[in-house]
Amino acid sequence: MKINVNELDKYIDQEITFSGFVDAIRDKKWVMFVILRDATGKVQMTIEKSEEANAPLLEIMSNLKVESTIKVTGKVVANEAVKLGGLEIIPSNIEVTSIAEDLPFDFNNLDGVNIDTRMDYKWIDMRNPRNTLIRQVESCMTKAMRDYLYLNNFTEIHTPKLIGAASESGSEVFEVKYFDGSAYLAQSDQFYKQMALAGGLDRVFEVGPVFRAENSNTNRHATEFTGFDLEFAYIDSYEDVMSLEEDLLIAGLTAVKEQYGDKILEVFGKEVIVPTKPFPRMKLKDLYEEFHERYGFDIPKEDIGDMNAEAEKLTYKLAQEKFNSEFMFITDYAATKRPFYHMRDEEGKLQGYDLIWRGTEITSGAQREHRYEELSKNAKEKGLGKDVEFYLQFFKYGCPPHGGFGIGLDRLTMLLLGLSSIKETQFLFRGPNRLNP
Ligand code: ATP
């Protein structure tokens, strides 16, 4: 494996090979400094002009454009005068491994570069350390949450994304040609997670793509995003689901803070705050009342029983003012506004929640309806017929009480780093007008 910049200090006074991008070339009178870069940092390569043996190396570097990649054989030397990590590489051989043309924009200064141009050339945009950091932080968060679940006996599953029937409702689903007929892209893995529980696995999760044919151009909607979804059995109420989500997010944010907290503050100006349990909870009705009293805000008629973007923003304000928290669980949504598989109690009260973080919904969760008769009734009420027939069967042959939730991973990352849009957050954004690259 290649030696990385952040490992070079282990090789002081040794002959090594090092590969990376040519980040900058500073051609001085007596010496040429070449800054090399890889995913872990930058290092200086120093070529003395007075040394005859260096002539071919200088010749190679003089004709090379920045962002080309090279493989250097040379000695790692400790040198306090070198600002970049206190060491330098003194090369004896340089091999050019790829040649770069002039770049379409300066990735080190993205101010004023159109977001569409940046997305067109995502692989160049990403070379800005800020953008590599987005990926690294997301990876750290995902790993920590995965680790937490593995430690707690969850099994990671992979469910199909090509499905035969629109899963929850027909409106937000992409239809694709499938031989002589049609298939659909999965809007969620909800039904299959539950099927796994009916199959005897107690605790399952999946990190995978979710497709939504939402023709909306908000800062937080994509047509394809990554869902971090889980489902677990033998719960007593949706309180158990919220409790697990608290632990999961605490595990994820603790790891991110430890590994990247300082960097995130430096680069994005955002403090990573690890929340404590329990996160505040409010019933929707009480929330509306507080909104009215505190902020003179009333939820529009069409959104009664639910939230809208403005209400999510105010929830953050309220969470901070009232509970000194960045998070808030909202419960007691109207059953008419929620999917048919969310459980309701005897009075018809919904046994589910949304979690709002920093002004945006990141999760919907619930105890699920596992009783066949009830579930069939709820589905009928929503006008869902044949399409969910196969799903209802999962509950006919014994299925433990259970619940779960889905986190939008892209939104989590966006909010964690305080990014203004999911376009900037996703590795490759997918929206109504964007399918490439
Ligand atoms: P919203 O009301 O914001 O459109 P939703 O109620 O449709 O979200 P769910 O179906 O509950 O969302 O999906 C679970 C999670 O997935 C959401 O809480 C959110 O974090 C994320 N999510 C949903 N839709 C999108 C989308 N189009 N792009 C990115 N993330 C999304």
| 220 carries an active-site annotation | yes
406 lines ligand 1 (CB under 6 A): yes
HSE, side-chain direction, 13 A CA sphere, residue 239: 4
Task: Tell me the per-residue pLDDT of 389-421, one tens digit each, with 9 for 90 and over.
Answer: 999 999 999 999 999 999 999 999 999 999 999
Q: What are the beta bridge partners of residue 185?
A: 162
Query: 227 C-alpha vs ligand 1 centroid, how far in Å?
Result: 9
Determine the atom of ligand 1 nearest the C-alpha atom of 187: 10
Mean local confidence (pLDDT), 59-71: 98
The dihedral built from the CA positions of residue 40, 156, 359 and 221, taken in this order, carries a sign that is positive
CB 430 within 8 A of CB 223: yes
Mean local confidence (pLDDT), 303-328: 97
Task: Tell me the per-residue pLDDT of 155-186, one tens digit each, with 9 for 90 and over.
Answer: 999 999 999 876 566 678 999 999 999 999 99
| 26 carries an active-site annotation | no
Mean local confidence (pLDDT), 60-64: 97
Nearest to 130 by CA among 102, 110, 104: 110
**Confidence bin at 307 (pLDDT 50/70/90):** very high
Put residue 428 in one of left, alpha, beta given phi > 0 → left and psi -120 to 50 → alpha.
beta
Residue 11 gets which letter from DSSP? G
Query: 223 C-alpha vs ligand 1 centroid, how far in Å?
Result: 10
423 lines ligand 1 (CB under 6 A): no
User: What was the pLDDT predicted at 387?
Assistant: 81
Query: 222 C-alpha vs ligand 1 centroid, how far in Å?
Result: 9
User: What was the pLDDT predicted at 367?
Assistant: 98
> Of the listed 364, 368, 369, 424, which one is catalytic?
364
Mean local confidence (pLDDT), 56-63: 98
| 370 carries an active-site annotation | no
> Of the listed 37, 146, 411, 430, which one is catalytic?
411
| 430 carries an active-site annotation | no
Task: Calculate Rg over the CA atoms of the chain.
Answer: 27
| 266 carries an active-site annotation | no
d(CA 362, CA 60): 51
Nearest CA to ligand 1 atom 22: 408
> Of the listed 135, 221, 281, 434, which one is catalytic?
221
214 lines ligand 1 (CB under 6 A): yes
Nearest to 121 by CA among 102, 143, 138, 139: 102
User: What was the pLDDT predicted at 167?
Assistant: 58
Give the residue carrying structure tokens 């509306």.
288
Residue 271 has pLDDT above 90, yes or no: yes
**What backbone phi and psi angles, to 5 degrees, belong to 185?**
-90, 135
Mean local confidence (pLDDT), 375-398: 93
Query: 122 C-alpha vs ligand 1 centroid, how far in Å?
Result: 24
| 206 carries an active-site annotation | no
Nearest CA to ligand 1 atom 6: 364
Which helix (H) or strand (E) covers residue 59, if one does?
A: helix 55-62
Give the residue carrying structure tokens 């909607």.
221
Q: What are the beta bridge partners of residue 216?
A: none
Task: Tell me the per-residue pLDDT of 206-262, one tens digit each, with 9 for 90 and over.
Answer: 999 999 999 888 999 999 999 999 999 999 999 999 999 999 999 999 999 999 999
Report the chain's mean pLDDT, rounded to a whole number. 96
Query: 408 C-alpha vs ligand 1 centroid, how far in Å?
Result: 6
Nearest CA to ligand 1 atom 1: 361
Least trusted range by pLDDT, from 107-116, 166-175, 350-359, 379-388: 166-175
Given ligand 1 and candidates 171, 225, 328, 430, which is best to mutate, with the most ligand atoms within 8 Å of its CB? 225
Which helix (H) or strand (E) covers residue 134, if one does?
A: helix 129-151
> Of the listed 7, 172, 214, 239, which one is catalytic?
214
The whole model's pTM is what? 0.95
Number of residues in the chain: 437
CB 344 within 8 A of CB 356: no
CB 153 within 8 A of CB 173: no
User: What was the pLDDT predicted at 168?
Assistant: 62
d(CA 371, CA 124): 52
Mean local confidence (pLDDT), 307-329: 98
363 lines ligand 1 (CB under 6 A): yes
| 424 carries an active-site annotation | no
Nearest to 143 by CA among 223, 225, 260, 235: 260
CB atoms within 10 A of CB 206: 21
